[in-house]
Structure 1
Amino acid sequence: MRRLLVLASLAALAVLLAAVPAQARMRPQVGCAPTGCWPVYSYGDQDTDVYAIQYFLRDRGFASFTPTGYYGALTTQAVERFQKAGSIPVSGVVGAKTWPELVVPVRYGQTNDAVRALQTELQQQYGYNIPVTGYYGNITRSDVMNFQKTHGLRVTGSANRATWHVLISAR
């Protein structure tokens, strides 16, 4: 009877863990800045930030696949190529050493995959009514300015490294 109770408890725990979104299971960094930590993503994770990782890898020429938000083998291999090219310890994991090198500052008038990463973050993580077009136009600039103001950042209308850090880590 006791063994059955233990097995039932373990099964219930497994069901609960499976129901928790990947975002909630992220492994945070230690020794973080007051503005937050860069989250850690690796094989098997699924999240809006994984879309951003995939878009950044495409923008930088390390991936050609369509972003899915799932961190699978293709994403791991692309991250490893990026890390190797950037003299970052090759792990296939995106964390505190990879994020700052991976994010790309974007500004008004640009059209690229880094802009798609920005629009995806604003739309899916922060609820902005912004289409994911890859074009940094008036809507994107206005939403970035609003985001910067709301989060105590210098309001520039451009997504610089500080803006990216808060977008990715402030949840």
Structure 2
Amino acid sequence: MAQEQGGRDQEQGAGARLARLLRRWWEEAGSASGGTRPTQQALAARLGVDQTTLSRYLNPKHTSTAPLRVVEALHAQLRAPAAELDRARALCRAALRENSGRRTVGGGGEPTAATDVTDGSGEPAGRREPAGSRATAAPAGPAAPHGPAGGHGSGAGRPRFRWHLHVLVWAAVVVAFAAGVLVHERFAVQDRKAATADGAAGGEGAVAASEVPHQWPLLVMGEQDQFTRARALQNLLNAHGYEVGADGFFGEDTRDAVMAFQRKRGLAPDGKVGKHTWPELVKEVKPGSGTFEVRAAQELLNNVGQGGTVVSGEFTAVTAEDLRFFQSTRDLPVTGRVDVDTWLALLVAQLPPAGAPAYQRPESPPPSGSAPASA
């Protein structure tokens, strides 16, 4: 039976193996200690998810994958064997990686229809011309007058010569078009650099961003909770020595700190955090970095839908592993560190904003008619 189970696990993906492991934890809960196994409804309430979602996480035939925080919470709630937690974490990350790969293949970008499948020649089968059409367009037998010997008459080469002439004309048009595109792109890059030059500060420690197809989000003072992005901003301000409460509410204290930072870096002190202020504000996060910048990165990483990251302010090996996974799914250099491009990708991935996490809710003041006081 064990060999049969092992063979079945090898045939299935990481998501099915994870679901099978989680279901075994639930089925065996209470047997070792003599307690009572919790119902799925009660267990779902403890985890903060609905019963239908939990049922999907425990079903190997369903495509839903439990996020890492749920896996760890299930391990604690069901008192599963301690030795199996690392295996469950590895299966969770592998399943999320598989799901990300399936979304990449099935989403936008290159077509994924059956006609694009290669047939062993290295060229997509759906895009190759049928053999018959090639024979009609350019017969193999008759050759042009300047072709190899063995032709069956000089008149037979004329249609092929005209066909070659059409190909050459079309090739010239394609080359001219491609050259025009390259010239246009070069000028467009120069225009973008010139457009962003105004307002870019020359402060020391700033890291230049590479060309990436995203825009820095704009944060302004407001009464509503702006969630992870505002808390990341506030933590970064603290990392630069400005004492503000990291509660997600962009109030007067946060605006004043932003304006002071902008004046120090030679930026227009408008109190808004956008494409000119973010690149100056972010810091590289790596092992040994300060608590505030690490917490800011972990806050954002915890809210990108890849299973959750512990927000502790300490850069751990798990933080680096979560960063490498995020970078690999965003076509970023997989370094395990947070550079300016990773900051940008993390901030963009927060849209639309999620609610405050459980550990933050008791500390977050409710929205009021006036801007919140400094914490």
TM-score, normalised to structure 1, is 0.76
Partner amino acid, structure 1, of 2:218: V
Counterpart in 2 of 1:91? Answer: 270
Partner amino acid, structure 1, of 2:229: D
State the distance in 1 between where 2:299 and 2:263 align: 27
State yes or no: 1:81 paired with 2:260: yes
Q: 2:316 aligns with which of 137, 142, 147?
A: 137
Give the total of aligned pairs.
141
Counterpart in 1 of 2:56? Answer: none
Which ranges of structure 2 fall in alignment gaps of 5 or more residues?
Answer: 1-194, 197-210, 352-375
State the distance in 1 between where 2:262 and 2:244 align: 18
Secondary structure (helix, strand or coil) at the match of 2:302 reads: helix
Secondary structure (helix, strand or coil) at the match of 1:132 reads: coil
The structure with the largest alpha-carbon Rg is 2
Q: 2:219 aligns with which of 41, 51, 64?
A: 41
Secondary structure (helix, strand or coil) at the match of 1:75 reads: helix
Counterpart in 1 of 2:279? Answer: 100
Per mean C-alpha deviation after superposition, the further-off stretch among 70-79 and 105-114 is 105-114
Counterpart in 2 of 1:20? Answer: none
Per mean C-alpha deviation after superposition, the further-off stretch among 127-136 and 81-90 is 127-136
Which ranges of structure 1 fall in alignment gaps of 5 or more residues?
Answer: 1-30
Give CA deviations for 1:56-99 in whole Å, capped at 9, x if unaligned: 0000102x232001111111000000001010111000011101
Tell me how far 1:34 sits from its aligned partner. 4.6
Q: 2:241 aligns with which of 53, 57, 61?
A: 61
State the distance in 1 between where 2:273 and 2:289 align: 25
Give CA deviations for 1:13-42 in whole Å, capped at 9, x if unaligned: xxxxxxxxxxxxxxxxxx896521001011
The question of whether the paired residues in 1 share the 8 Å contact of 2:239 and 2:290 is answered with: no
Tell me how far 1:127 sits from its aligned partner. 4.7
State yes or no: 1:160 paired with 2:339: yes
Give CA deviations for 1:103-147 in whole Å, capped at 9, x if unaligned: 111102334200000000011243542221111111110000000
Per mean C-alpha deviation after superposition, the further-off stretch among 118-127 and 89-98 is 118-127
Partner amino acid, structure 2, of 1:167: L
TM-score, normalised to structure 2, is 0.36
The question of whether the paired residues in 2 share the 8 Å contact of 1:109 and 1:137 is answered with: no
State the distance in 1 between where 2:284 and 2:304 align: 19
Partner amino acid, structure 1, of 2:287: Y
Query: Which protein has greater RCO, CA pairs closer than 8 Å, 6+ apart?
Result: 1
Per mean C-alpha deviation after superposition, the further-off stretch among 83-92 and 125-134 is 125-134
Q: 2:230 aligns with which of 29, 50, 55?
A: 50
